[in-house]
C-alpha cells in the first residue's frame, strides 16, 4: 500500500486565496515535477515560484511549490505541495493531472494514516490532529493541541512503563514462588498506577466533553416561557413566542458556547396531553429529545406555582442531569414546595435576569472546571480502552487482596497493559485504523 503515491486537494474546496494540492509517496517529486516548469528544488521545505503546466505545456497557473524530503515530513515520505491560486477549477485540474500520471486519490485521513504507519505520530496524536480540525472552541483547541504535542502519549507511555514493572515483579514471583510475598511491594505500586490512570481518564473525559459538547433540552409545560428562554440565552429571536399555550411544535436547535463548552440547546413543545395531532407529535419529539439529552433544563412558571403533573414529572427526572428553572421571576412568585435535589435557579426571560447563574449551573453540571482546562483529546473508542484498562487494574488489585493467585493477577495486569498499547496504536488492527482515519477529511 505504501509503495504508491497519493494526492489530494488539502484545502477546503471552494473559492479562496490559495488551494494546496498535496502529493506523498515514493514518486511524489517525479509525478509533480512533470507539471512544474522549475526542475530544481534543492532545499527541502523551501517554497519556489514556478509555473504549473498541463501535458501539452500550456500554463495553467503561476504557483508556489515545495518539496519535503523524507523522512522528516508529515507522512514520513517524500511530499510535494503545490500552492495554486484559489479556485475550484485550478485545484481540480492540477489534481487530475497528478492522478492521470501515476498518483492515486488519497482516502480520507490517508496522509495522517501514513504519518502513523511511518511512526511520525502515534494514534493518540492522530486523534489530536482530527480534534484540532474539528474544535469548536478555543478550550477544545487547546485540549487537541496538548494531545497532538504528545502530552497524552507521554502519560500513557509512563503508565505503561509502570505497569510493565509491576508485571515483571509478579512474573519473577511466578518463576520463584519461594521468594518474598510479592504483594507487599506490588500493591502500593499498583494503587499508584490506578490513581494515575484514573486522573488521566478524567482529563480525557473532559477533553471529549469539550470536543463533542453537551445536549441540553429545554422542557416544561406549555406557556412557561421555554422559547423565550431559548431566545434570551441566544440573545436573538430564534423561536416564536406567543401567549397561546402549544405554540412550539418542532424542535428548535441552536448552539451556544459557555466558557468554551459547546452546548446545543433544544427548545421543545410544551409537555401536555393533547388531542391536537400536530401538537401531540411535538410532545413526542420533546420526550425523545429529553431521553437523548445530557441535561434537562426544566422550566416552571414561578408566577403560577406547580401543578400536580409537573410535580410528578420532576420526581421522574434524574436530578444529577436536571436544572429546575423558575422563569418569570419578574412577576410575583407563587411558592410551591418541591422535594427534589435538582439544582434550582430563578430567571426572567423577559428582563434577562438570572441568565448568568443559569449558564454557570449548566457549565458546572457538565464538567469540572480544572479538568476542563487540562482536557486531553481522545476518541470515544480510545476512551473506552482506557476505561477497560482501569477496570482490569482494579480487578488485579482485588485479586491481590483476595489472594486469588499470581497467574490471575498477572493476566489482568497484562490485559490492562495491552489496552494502553491499543490507545497508542501499537496493537491496532486494520479495523481500528479504518475507524480512526475514516473520520478525517480527504487531503489530511
Instruction: Answer with the entry of ligand GTP, Mg ion, none that 354 interacts with (C-beta below 5 to 8 A by kind).
Output: none
Are 423 and 378 spatial neighbours (Cβ–Cβ below 8 Å)? Answer: yes
- The gap from C-alpha 60 to its chain's centroid, in whole angstroms, comes to 40
Nearer to Mg ion, 248 or 366 (CB): 248
Dig out the grid coordinates for 252 from the structure: 428548535
Nearer to ligand GTP, 109 or 222 (CB): 222
Which has the closest alpha carbon to 365: 337, 344, 340, 386? 344
Dig out the grid coordinates for 120 from the structure: 511520525
> Cβ of residue 346: shortest distance to ligand GTP, in angstroms?
10
Helix boundaries (H) for 256-316:
277-291, 308-316
Q: Edge-to-edge strands of the sheet including 252-258? A: 252-258, 261-267, 214-220, 295-301, 322-327, 343-346
Using CB under 6 A as the binding rule, whether residue 266 contacts ligand GTP is answered as: no
Are 75 and 88 spatial neighbours (Cβ–Cβ below 8 Å)? Answer: no
Nearer to ligand GTP, 28 or 269 (CB): 269
Site string for ligand GTP, 281-320 (x = CB under 6 A): ----------------------------------------
- Which SS3 state, helix, strand or coil, does residue 30 take? helix
| HSE value, Cβ hemisphere, 13 Å, CA-based, for 222 | 15
> Cβ of residue 283: shortest distance to ligand GTP, in angstroms?
10
Site string for Mg ion, 173-212 (x = CB under 5 A): ----------------------------------------
> Cβ of residue 242: shortest distance to ligand GTP, in angstroms?
6
Q: Site residues for ligand GTP, window 322-361 (CB under 6 A)?
A: 327-328, 330-331, 348-350
Calpha distance 401→399 (Å, rounded): 6
Residues in the chain: 444
Size of the site for Mg ion (CB under 5 A): 4
Calpha distance 42→98 (Å, rounded): 21
Q: Site residues for ligand GTP, window 209-238 (CB under 6 A)?
A: 222-228
> Cβ of residue 317: shortest distance to ligand GTP, in angstroms?
17
Stretch that binds Mg ion, among 37-45, 209-217, 248-256, 399-407 (CB under 5 A): 248-256
Q: How far apart are the first and last CA of the chain?
A: 17
Using CB under 6 A as the binding rule, whether residue 411 contacts ligand GTP is answered as: no
Provide the sign of the torsion angle of the four alpha carbons 368, 372, 374, 376, taken in this order.
positive
Using CB under 5 A as the binding rule, whether residue 409 contacts Mg ion is answered as: no
Binding residue (CB under 6 A) for ligand GTP from 108, 246, 333, 381: 246
> Cβ of residue 344: shortest distance to ligand GTP, in angstroms?
16
Binding residue (CB under 6 A) for ligand GTP from 247, 322, 377, 389: 247
Calpha distance 179→304 (Å, rounded): 75
Phi, psi at residue 352, to the nearest 5°?
65, 30
- The gap from C-alpha 156 to its chain's centroid, in whole angstroms, comes to 19
Nearer to Mg ion, 219 or 263 (CB): 219
Nearer to ligand GTP, 293 or 382 (CB): 293
Dig out the grid coordinates for 39 from the structure: 526542475
Q: Which residue is nearest to ligand GTP (CB)?
A: 270
How many other C-beta atoms can be found within 10 angstroms of the C-beta atom of residue 308?
7
> Cβ of residue 226: shortest distance to ligand GTP, in angstroms?
4
Q: How far is CA 169 from CA 113, 185, 193, in A?
A: 36, 9, 15
Calpha distance 362→365 (Å, rounded): 5
> Cβ of residue 211: shortest distance to ligand GTP, in angstroms?
31
Using CB under 5 A as the binding rule, whether residue 248 contacts Mg ion is answered as: yes
Binding residue (CB under 5 A) for Mg ion from 135, 227, 266, 389: 227
Are 377 and 126 spatial neighbours (Cβ–Cβ below 8 Å)? Answer: no
> Cβ of residue 286: shortest distance to ligand GTP, in angstroms?
9
Instruction: Answer with the entry of ligand GTP, Mg ion, none that 174 interacts with (C-beta below 5 to 8 A by kind).
Output: none
Q: Nearest 5°: CA angle at 363, between 360 and 367?
A: 140
Stretch that binds Mg ion, among 6-14, 243-251, 291-299, 395-403 (CB under 5 A): 243-251
Question: Which DSSP category does 333 fall into?
Answer: P
Using CB under 6 A as the binding rule, whether residue 241 contacts ligand GTP is answered as: yes
> Cβ of residue 35: shortest distance to Mg ion, in angstroms?
59
- Which SS3 state, helix, strand or coil, does residue 354 take? coil
Binding residue (CB under 6 A) for ligand GTP from 149, 165, 168, 242: 242
> Cβ of residue 340: shortest distance to ligand GTP, in angstroms?
20
Binding site for ligand GTP (CB under 6 A): 222-228, 241-243, 245-248, 269-270, 327-328, 330-331, 348-350
Binding site for Mg ion (CB under 5 A): 226-227, 247-248
Amino acid at each position: 500500500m505504501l509503495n504508491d503515491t497519493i494526492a489530494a486537494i488539502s484545502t477546503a474546496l471552494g473559492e479562496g486565496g490559495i488551494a494546496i494540492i498535496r502529493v506523498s509517496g515514493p514518486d511524489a517529486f517525479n509525478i509533480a515535477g512533470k507539471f512544474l516548469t522549475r526542475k530544481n528544488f534543492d532545499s527541502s521545505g523551501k517554497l519556489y515560484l514556478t509555473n504549473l503546466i498541463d501535458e501539452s505545456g500550456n500554463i495553467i497557473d503561476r504557483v508556489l511549490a515545495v518539496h519535503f524530503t523524507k523522512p522528516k515530513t508529515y507522512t514520513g515520505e517524500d511530499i510535494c505541495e503545490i500552492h495554486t491560486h484559489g479556485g475550484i477549477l485550478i485545484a481540480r485540474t492540477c489534481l487530475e493531472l497528478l492522478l492521470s500520471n501515476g498518483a492515486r486519490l488519497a482516502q480520507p485521513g490517508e496522509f495522517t494514516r501514513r504519518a502513523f504507519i511511518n511512526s511520525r505520530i502515534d494514534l493518540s496524536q492522530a486523534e489530536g490532529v482530527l480534534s484540532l480540525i474539528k474544535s469548536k472552541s478555543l478550550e477544545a483547541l487547546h485540549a487537541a493541541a496538548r494531545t497532538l504535542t504528545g502530552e497524552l502519549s507521554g502519560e500513557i507511555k509512563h503508565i505503561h512503563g509502570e505497569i510493565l514493572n509491576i508485571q515483571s515483579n509478579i512474573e519473577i514471583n511466578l518463576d520463584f514462588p519461594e521468594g518474598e510475598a510479592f504483594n507487599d511491594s506490588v500493591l502500593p505500586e499498583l494503587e499508584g498506577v490506578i490513581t494515575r490512570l484514573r486522573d488521566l481518564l478524567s482529563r480525557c473525559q473532559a477533553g471529549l466533553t469539550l470536543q463533542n459538547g453537551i445536549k441540553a433540552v429545554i422542557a416544561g409545560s406549555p406557556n412557561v416561557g421555554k422559547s423565550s428562554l431559548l431566545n434570551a440565552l441566544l440573545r436573538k429571536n430564534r423561536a416564536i413566542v406567543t401567549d397561546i399555550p402549544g405554540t412550539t411544535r418542532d424542535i428548535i436547535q441552536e448552539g451556544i458556547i459557555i466558557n468554551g463548552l459547546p452546548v446545543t440547546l433544544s427548545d421543545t413543545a410544551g409537555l401536555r396531553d393533547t388531542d391536537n395531532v400536530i401538537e401531540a407529535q411535538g410532545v413526542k419529539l420533546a420526550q425523545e429529545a429529553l431521553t437523548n439529552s445530557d441535561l434537562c433544563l426544566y422550566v416552571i412558571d414561578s408566577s403560577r406555582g406547580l401543578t400536580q403533573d409537573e410535580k410528578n414529572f420532576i420526581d421522574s427526572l434524574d436530578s444529577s442531569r436536571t436544572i429546575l428553572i423558575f422563569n418569570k421571576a419578574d412577576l410575583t412568585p407563587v411558592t410551591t414546595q418541591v422535594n427534589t435535589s435538582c439544582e434550582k435557579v430563578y430567571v426572567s426571560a423577559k428582563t434577562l435576569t438570572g441568565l448568568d447563574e443559569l449558564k454557570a449551573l449548566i457549565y458546572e453540571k457538565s464538567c469540572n472546571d480544572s479538568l476542563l482546562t487540562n482536557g486531553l483529546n481522545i476518541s470515544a473508542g480510545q476512551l473506552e480502552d482506557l476505561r477497560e484498562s482501569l477496570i482490569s487494574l482494579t480487578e488485579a488489585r482485588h485479586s491481590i487482596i483476595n489472594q486469588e493467585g499470581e497467574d490471575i493477577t498477572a493476566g489482568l495486569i497484562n490485559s490492562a497493559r495491552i489496552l494502553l498499547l491499543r490507545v497508542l496504536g501499537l496493537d491496532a488492527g486494520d479495523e481500528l485504523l479504518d475507524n480512526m482515519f475514516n473520520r478525517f477529511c480527504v487531503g489530511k
